[in-house]
Amino acid sequence: MKQAAVLLSLSLLLSTTLPAQSKEGTISTTTEIVTVPVVITDSSGKSVRGLKAEDFQVKENGKEQKIASFEEVTASRAAIPGSREQNGIYTNHLDSNPVALGIVVIDLVNTRTVSQAWALRGSIAFLEKWKGAGGFQQPIMVAAITSQGLRIIHQATTNPEVLETALQMISPVGTTADKTAPETTALPNPPRDGSGKPMVSPRKPNESDADYSNRVKEANREAQTFDQMERGNEVSRQVMIDADTKTTMWALMALANGVAGIPGRKALMWCSEAFPFKSAEAALQSPQWVAQHGSTEEDASLKPLREATLLALNRANISVYPINAAGLSPAGFDAGERSQVIAAQYSAKTIRSIEGDMDNRANANIVADQTAGTTCMSVRDIGDCINRTLEDASHYYMLSYYPDPKPNGNGYRRIKVEVKSEKVKVRARDSYWHGIVPSYGNSAKSELAVALGSNLDYTALPIVLKFTGLKAASGGKRIAEFTIGVDGRALSIDEDHGNHISLLIGALAKVGDNPTVISIDTKLKPELVSQIRAKQLTHNGEMEIMPGKYDLRLVVRDNLTGRLGSIVAPIEVQ
């Protein structure tokens, strides 16, 4: 689809309706229902079942809210389909019943090669135990964070054999954690006393004052040179880690945007050696960093990128369960085998630098606490961590309410959920974003490009696609005619600003071609708003394309909410 031309005309299609909208899918500037998944456990960590709506109290910004809907959700083998076709119409729309989805993410960016291998072996060993047991009680998706971004290894399934086969296709890869950065060759670190000052051997007999003074100066010079080179190496390592941080955040955002339309709570098991939700303080304080950046602050783009990632996880009702890949070894493997591999592959200096760069426990707690997950940092077998997470995620309560009073403007609204019992632990997200989603410096077109290049089904924005005809074009090409529909109940219409809508549409028929991107930013006539809400907004388009068979990938982004929808539809052009 090189330089394909897509001409879109805005119209309203009233003859086609979409299925009932997900309880989590309706967000507008007029009426917003807030959904809050809540996990309740007793003192032993077991799920507390059988609670009623009257046992809960929900507050928003300190004011108690009336619970509009209440559901106790137990894990089931519900299927989560991708793009579906019926009578020539393709859709990404999902049923509205909440599910308990597990997502296993193997981090190939922030994890050393040897730890990647143990995480993969442990995951496969975990799946082996489930073979022949009738499958999982809840759907599980497997993904990887790679240097190229998010990679879906397999879509959600309850079949452990299918996931095992998919995991066996992954091979460990070298990372920044292995190589750090090309280090400057420094002088040997001179002996130092307890305060860090270089130690000088006692004055020799008949040694002149000048000679002794020169030896002291030389020791100080060597120590200063060594420290300066080490600080330079630390800054170089931090720059590389910052690049990995950006890749990681974009991958997590892509995953969150992709599963946001799946109703219910999602448990993301993130297996990694580093959870980059802050930078290494030692590097930021160094003179080299200050000279290069003019301050002791980290890369200015990292903080907003982390905030955007946490917001995306929050909006998708994802709880993150960080699993520390350092020290993992699956049951049945000799711990000495791992120690020998590590000793041969990494020097003590490299291991210390990695541990100094990332305080894994603190970083893991940041993302777990802010998403209502828990950490698994001291268990050798990843299978134990996955089992704990799936058990924790197998049961929860879904509460919904309409904010009272209606929020104004844009910003975070604080949520607090309490249960009328002193002997239980309550885990729920503590906030949600109201209003137009902030960009945090991220480009909408960048998000669209990530979605177009992904093999993940994006479901947050329900859309439909139908090819309506073919006609001749110049140069042996053909023009494919089609209609795109966006569910009006999920479309964000800013009624406070003239019924403003803003959409970004991307289409890609062949990997390697230039995608076609269309921006729609307009204000709707007042009489159209209620009709669109009841039905859908459609776009009629034409695509110029060479004859052949294609799997067309279509992505639509609602720029006011940041929600994305995608469809993959086969098309044969003759």
Under DSSP, the state recorded for 47 is: B
Domain topology for 101-181+229-295+302-393: Rossmann fold (3.40.50)
Please report, in angstroms and rounded to a whole number, the separation of the first and last CA atoms in the chain. Answer: 15
29-32: list long-range contacts, CB under 8 Å, 24+ apart. 29/435, 29/492, 29/493, 29/494, 29/495, 29/496, 30/493, 30/495, 31/402, 32/402, 32/403, 32/407, 32/434
Contact 21, 9 (CB under 8 A): no
Ordered DSSP codes for 367-427:
HHHHHT---B-S-S-HHHHHHHHHHHHTEEEEEEE--SSPP-SSEEEEEEEEES-SS-EEE
User: What SS3 string covers 469-501?
Assistant: EEEECHHHCEEEEEEEEEECCCCCCEHHHCCEE
Is the CB of residue 29 less than 8 Å from the CB of residue 494?
yes
d(CA 466, CA 193): 76
Task: Name the region of 61 (left: φ>0; alpha: ψ -120 to 50; beta: rest).
Answer: left
Residue 534 has which token pair? Answer: 């009841």
Q: Look up the pTM and report it.
A: 0.77
Q: Which of 308, 367, 277 is nearest to 562 (CA)?
A: 308
Q: With contact defined as beta carbons under 8 Å apart, do 502 and 558 qualify?
A: yes
pLDDT at 505: 92
**Signed CA dihedral, 278, 281, 287, 288: sign only:** negative
Q: What is the pLDDT along the chain (574 residues), one digit of tens a residue?
A: 333 433 344 444 433 334 444 444 333 444 478 999 999 999 888 999 999 999 999 999 999 999 999 999 998 877 787 778 888 899 998 877 888 999 999 999 888 888 888 888 888 888 888 877 778 888 999 999 998 889 999 989 999 999 988 888 888 776 555 554 444 444 455 566 666 677 777 878 888 888 888 877 877 777 666 665 555 444 444 444 567 888 899 899 999 989 999 999 999 999 998 888 765 444 444 454 445 545 545 567 788 888 889 999 999 999 999 998 876 654 444 444 444 433 433 333 444 444 444 467 888 888 999 999 999 987 778 888 998 899 898 999 999 999 999 888 888 999 999 998 778 999 999 999 888 887 766 688 888 988 998 888 899 999 999 999 889 888 888 888 889 999 998 999 998 889 999 999 998 888 777 888 888 899 999 999 999 988 899 888 887 888 999 999 999 999 998 899 999 999 888 8
* CATH assignment of 34-75+395-434, among 3.40.190, 1.50.10, 1.10.3470, 2.60.40: 2.60.40
| Closest C-alpha to 231, from 281, 302, 268, 168 | 281
Domain boundaries along the sequence of the chain: 9-25+444-573, 34-75+395-434, 101-181+229-295+302-393
pLDDT at 503: 95
Name the 3-class secondary structure at 328. Answer: coil
Cβ neighbours, 10 Å, residue 355 = 13
* 257: Cβ contacts below 8 Å, ≥ 6 apart: 312, 316, 447, 451, 458, 460, 562, 563, 564
pLDDT given at position 196 = 66
Would the CATH topology of 9-25+444-573 be identical to that of 34-75+395-434? yes
Residue with tokens 């119209």: 11
Tokens of 81: 């389909």
Q: What are phi and psi of 9, to 5 degrees?
A: -120, 130
Q: Round to whole Å and give the CA distance between 280 and 43.
A: 35
Please tell me the distance from the alpha carbon of residue 501 to that of residue 495, in angstroms, as a whole number: 9
pLDDT of residue 574: 82
Structure tokens at 458: 């994006």
Say whether the peptide bond before residue 182 is cis (omega within 30 degrees of 0).
no
- The hierarchical CATH code for the domain 9-25+444-573 is 2.60.40.10
